[in-house]
Amino acid sequence: MIDARSEVRLRQRLTLVALGKAPAERILRVGKLLDTATRTWSDNQEIVMSEGRIAYVGAAGSWPGTCDNIDERPDLMAIPGLGEVHKHIESSHLTPEWEAALVIPRGNTWTCEASHEFSNVRGSKTLDFWMTARKHGSPLKIFPLPGSAVPPTAYEHGGGWLGHDEQRDFLAGSLMVAGLDEVMDWPAVWNPENASHERLWGMIEATFAARGVVEGHAAGLKDLPTINAFAAAGLASDHEAWTAEEFWDKLTHGLFAELRPHSMPDVIKGLLERGLEDWSQIAFATDDRSASETLAKGATDYNVRLAIQSGLKAEIAIQCVTINPARHMRLTPWVGAIAPGRFADIVLLSDLESLKIAEVWADGEQVSKGEEYILPVPEIDWPDWARNTVQTGGIFSADDFAIRAEPGRDTMTAAVLRPFHWEDDFLTYELPVANGLVQRDAARNITKFAIVDRFSGKKSVSKMFWAGTGPKTSDCALASSLAHDKHNIWCVGSSDKAMAIAVNALGEIGGGWAMVRGNEVVATVRYEIAGLMSQRSAEDLDADMQMLYAEGEKIEWMYEPSSSPRWWAGFPERLAFATLTCAPWRWVLVAPSDYAPEGLVNVATGETHKVVW
C-alpha cells in the first residue's frame, strides 16, 4: 500500500540518493533506454535504484553517488514495466500472488484492477483483498478500482452493497485506489427514476471528491447524443468500442479509448487510415483473459505485439501500455516511465519489433529470466471471508430445477432467451408438458438454464428455458460460480437431476466449474477463493481446465448457426458472460428476489415477467 506519510519519507530519501548524498542499493546499466514521454531512445544509460524506486537516470557513469551493486546489460534495451489500464485479474482465475508469477515475466508489472468481480462477492473487503498479496511481498502493483456495479442493477442482491460512503472510504484508504471501476448501468446514470440512480451517482460523487477517475462502459452506445451524454456524465473512458468509426466518435468527444485485442487489427488500421498521429488518448486493455489463454498468447506483451503487427510503431505501442494509461489513471508519480520516483520496474528487451523479453525487474531487483519467474510466490493464508463464499443453503434436488405447468395443460408458453440476447423482447415458444412439468425441446435446441443464489443461503433458484446452447446429450449439465457480474451460480442442463448434481458439486469445492454426464460428476475445476480464483500456479489450473474441456468433448452441445456467433459451437464456456445485466442487455435472468420472484426482468425498464404462462 501507499500512504502519503510513508511516500513523503521515501521521496525524501530518493532526493538525497539522486544528489549522490546517500548511497544507492543497485545500478542497472543498459545499452538503450526508451523515454516514454518523448518516444526517444538514449544509449548507454544507467538506472540508479533505492528502496524499490528509481532515484536517478542518466548516461552511464554520470551519477555522483556510490553503490556496491552494479549490473551491466549492454546488449539489452530498457522500457518501463508494462501496465494494464483495465483488467479483471479474477478472469485469470488465479489469486493475485499467482497472477504476478504468470504475468510479470511477460512484462506486466502493474494493473488497474477493475474489481467488479470480487467486489460483487465481498464488496466490503475489496481493498483488503487487493492489497494482501503486495503486503506479503508480491512485486505486482495492483491499483484497485472498486466496482461501481455492486450490485450490477437494482434487481440483483447479495455479496455486498457499495455506495458513496464506501467509495469515499476506499479512496481515503490508500493512494493506490485509482478511482471507480467501469460504470456499466447506463440506464441508471441518465434516468433519475432508475432504482440505482442515487447509489451510482453517490459513488461518482465520492470519486470526483477524491480526484479519482470514473471509468466507463459504453457497450452499444454509438449514436452521438448518447456519446455526448456519456462524456457529459463524467464517465472518462470506454473499452467496448469495436470499430474504428466508433473509436473515432468516442475519441473526438473526449473519451479515453481502451482498445482490446479482439478488435485491435481493424481499429488500428482504421485509425491510421484516418491519419491519427496523437495516440496519447489510447491504451490497450486486456479486460478478461484466462490463465490458459495467457499461457498460450501472453499478457500485456501480447497486446503490444499484436499492435505492432497491425501496423503501429513499436514505440507508440509501448506508450499505449505505459505512459498513456498512467496519465489517464493519474498514476504518473509511480508508473509509466523509467524516471525518478517511479517504481523500479523495468522490462529488458533483446529485440524491439518482436518485443522479445529477456528479463523483468521489479522493485529494483531481477524477478524473471525469459518466461521464468525467479522469485518465491508468497504463501498467503486467505481468510474465511475470501474462501467461504458459496452459501447456497443446502443440497439441491431435481425438483429445485423443475418448472411446473398449470393444472390440466398439455403445453405452456415459455419466455426463452439465447446467449447475448439484446433484443427488446424475449422469444416465446410453446413447450410440451409431461407429468405436470414443462419440458425441454432438444429438437428445437431449447434447454434449461438456472441461476442459483449463492449469497443468501436460502436455496433460491430461478430457472427458465434457453435456446441454442447447453448439452443435447441426456442427463448432462454444466455449472459455474463464474457468472458476470453478480457471480451467482449458473447451470445449464439436459435434465433437472443433472443440474442439481452439478450445483451440489460446486458447493462441495467452494466454487469453480462442475460438469455432469450420465448423472455423474466427470470433471471439476475449483475456484476456492471468492468462487472466482484458485490459489495455485497457472500451469496447475490449466491442467484442470484441459481435463474439463476433454470431458466436454464427450458431450453433444446445442448450437444455432443461424442466430449465434461461431464461438458458441461446442463447450459453452462463454455462458459466464451471458449472465451480464449491463447495457446493451434488456431481458435477463437473475436470482429470485421480492421484486422479481421468478428472476426474469428487463434491466432497462424494470419490467418483470413470468417464465411460463
**CATH number where 229 lies:** 3.20.20.140
Scanning the structure block, which residue is given the C-alpha cell 449458473?
A: 490
Same domain for 354 and 467? Answer: no
Question: At residue 311, what is the residue type?
Answer: G
Confidence at residue 240, expressed as pLDDT on a 0 to 100 scale: 94
Q: Which region among 26-35, 280-289, 335-344, 581-590 has the lowest average model confidence (pLDDT)?
A: 581-590
Q: Please check whether residue 117 lies inside any domain of the structure.
A: yes
Same domain for 186 and 137? Answer: yes
SS3 458: coil
Nearest Cα to Cα of residue 380 among 136, 39, 152: 136
Same domain for 542 and 594? Answer: yes
Confidence at residue 469, expressed as pLDDT on a 0 to 100 scale: 87
Last residue of a domain, one of 346, 380, 414: 380
Q: How far apart are CA 152 and CA 146, in angstroms?
A: 13
Same domain for 323 and 469? Answer: no
Confidence at residue 572, expressed as pLDDT on a 0 to 100 scale: 87
Q: How far apart are CA 568 and CA 11, in angstroms?
A: 53
Q: How far apart are CA 22 and CA 558, in angstroms?
A: 68
Categorize the per-residue pLDDT at 574 as very low, low, confident or very high, splitting at 50, 70 and 90: confident
Task: Examine the pLDDT at 32 and tell me if it is beyond 70.
Answer: yes
Categorize the per-residue pLDDT at 297 as very low, low, confident or very high, splitting at 50, 70 and 90: very high
- Cβ density class 187-202: b for 16+ within 10 Å, e for less: bbbeeeebebbebbbb
Residues of the chain with pLDDT > 70: what percent?
A: 98
Mean pLDDT of 237-257: 96
Mean pLDDT of 178-196: 95
What domain count does the chain have? Answer: 2
Same domain for 499 and 354? Answer: no
Task: Examine the pLDDT at 116 and tell me if it is beyond 80.
Answer: yes
Same domain for 350 and 470? Answer: no
Confidence at residue 569, expressed as pLDDT on a 0 to 100 scale: 59
Q: Please state, in angstroms and as integers, the Cα–Cα distance from residue 264 to each residue in 252, 327, 570, following that order.
A: 18, 21, 26
For 190-244, the DSSP string reads: H-TTSTTHHHHHHHHHHHHHTT-EEEE--TT--SHHHHHHHHHTT--EES---SH
Same domain for 186 and 132? Answer: yes
Task: Write out pLDDT tens, residues 533-570.
Answer: 999 999 999 999 999 999 999 999 987 654 545 445 57
Residues of the chain with pLDDT > 90: what percent?
A: 94
Cis peptide before 287 (omega within 30 of 0): no
Average pLDDT, the chain: 96
Same domain for 231 and 97? Answer: yes
Same domain for 238 and 344? Answer: yes
Q: How far apart are CA 224 and CA 237, in angstroms?
A: 15
Confidence at residue 582, expressed as pLDDT on a 0 to 100 scale: 87
Task: Write out pLDDT tens, residues 448-458.
Answer: 999 999 999 99
Q: Which domain holds residue 477?
A: 386-602
Q: How far apart are CA 470 and CA 449, in angstroms?
A: 8
How many residues in the chain? 613
